[in-house]
Amino acid sequence: MEGGREVEITRDLGLDERQSRVLDMHSVLNFLNVVMHQIEQVGTLVGDDQAVNALIEQVFAVRDGLTDRARTIAQLGRLPEIRARLIGGVAAQRARVPDAQRSLFERHLDTLESVFDVIEQRVAELIERADDANCYRTVSLQHLRANLQQMFNAVEKNSNGRYRIAFSAAERSPGDYLMELDLRSRDGRSIRMPAVLEDVMRDLAANARKYTDPGGWVRVSLAEEDDGLCLQVEDNGRGIPADEIEHVVVFGHRASNVGNRGQTGGGFGLTKAYAVVRTFAGRMWIRSGNGAGTRVRIWLPRPTGAPMSGSPTKRRVAPNAAPSVA
């Protein structure tokens, strides 16, 4: 991107325990909001919000439980049961849907299945790192790409036909989003990274899509370099007013130009990204401007005493140092 102002974010976050927990659960919480939205749409189709209120209350209960440290693992472990109960409850409304709305109802049901597929993937990741949230792991580039594509396929379904997301220029039609993924490691197959960085990559990409109109583009790159990892997410969307860039990482803060657009997220994606940067002694830059698109650039140093790829790596990271990226 050419326009906008680039700022290195250096402020303290000052998060309390509950806020930290919300950031940990951010991805799951966002998709539970999508579940709630789909169930509300079904209530509208049947012309009776009361018919789905009990299901919505169940989603609220799950969501609230994920912000309580003592209840989180128990809640996550019950996800298959919760999925079956919620989707079964929605399916039970089929006979009440007018014939003219039946195909839309089936799309809502299909979207719920896709969203729960993504949630189950996120839950599996959270359980895997429950004992050490800051662990490193080796991830195949193929897995990273497939995971991003799975998420955006669910996002596309949630739009109910309002837009499409293409992953190459060749398959893109006018009005489609173009989602470009450039994932590189030194061996060309896998990359060793903090497990939570995958959350950050997805969150930033989802944010970029959310604040870019259909027909725009989003570029996600992750590169393994000699001295660390560089993650960059860029879009040609509405951007952030230049004088607000340093504040958008504040917990729950949204830029003033987001308008009245309906959002299912919590506004914590940039906060979580910056919290991860600070945890791993990295650096973060945001370049943006009103109407100029946004570029978020993150650099994390290579862990001390081990290569980025290959055998298990200690969590201890090198002191903050200037990255080699331009």
Q: What secondary structure letter does DSSP report for 248?
A: T
Q: Looking at the predicted structure, is the pLDDT value of residue 107 above 90?
A: yes
82: helix, strand or coil = helix
- HSE-CB of 130 using CA atoms within 13 angstroms: 13
- Averaged confidence pLDDT in the chain: 87
| pLDDT score at 132 | 86
Q: Looking at the predicted structure, is the pLDDT value of residue 281 above 70?
A: yes
| pLDDT score at 76 | 85
Q: How confident is the model at residue 38 (pLDDT cuts 50, 70, 90)?
A: very high
Q: What percentage of the chain exceeds 90 in pLDDT? A: 64
Other beta carbons within 10 angstroms of residue 246's beta carbon come to 15
What is the Cα–Cα distance from 118 to 124, expressed in whole angstroms?
10
- Phi and psi at 189, nearest 5°, equal -125, -45
Averaged pLDDT, 101-126 = 93
Contacts of 47 (CB under 8 A, 6+ apart): none
Distance between first and last Cα of the chain: 14
Q: Looking at the predicted structure, is the pLDDT value of residue 314 above 70?
A: no
Averaged pLDDT, 270-291 = 95
| pLDDT score at 319 | 37
Q: Give all domains of the chain, ordered by start, each with its CATH number.
A: 5-301 (3.30.565.10)
Encode pLDDT of 45-85 as tens digits.
Answer: 998 888 899 999 999 999 888 877 777 888 888 889 999 99
Strand-pair partners of 190: 140
Give the helix ranges, DSSP H, for 47-188.
50-65, 69-77, 79-91, 102-128, 141-158
The residue written with tokens 């049947």 in the block is 46
**Of 39-53, 135-149, 196-210, 283-297, minimum mean pLDDT range:** 39-53
Q: Looking at the predicted structure, is the pLDDT value of residue 264 above 70?
A: no
Averaged pLDDT, 259-275 = 71
Name which of 42, 32, 38 is nearest 79 in CA terms: 32
| pLDDT score at 143 | 95
Encode pLDDT of 13-29 as tens digits.
Answer: 989 888 888 888 888 88
Q: Looking at the predicted structure, is the pLDDT value of residue 258 above 70?
A: no
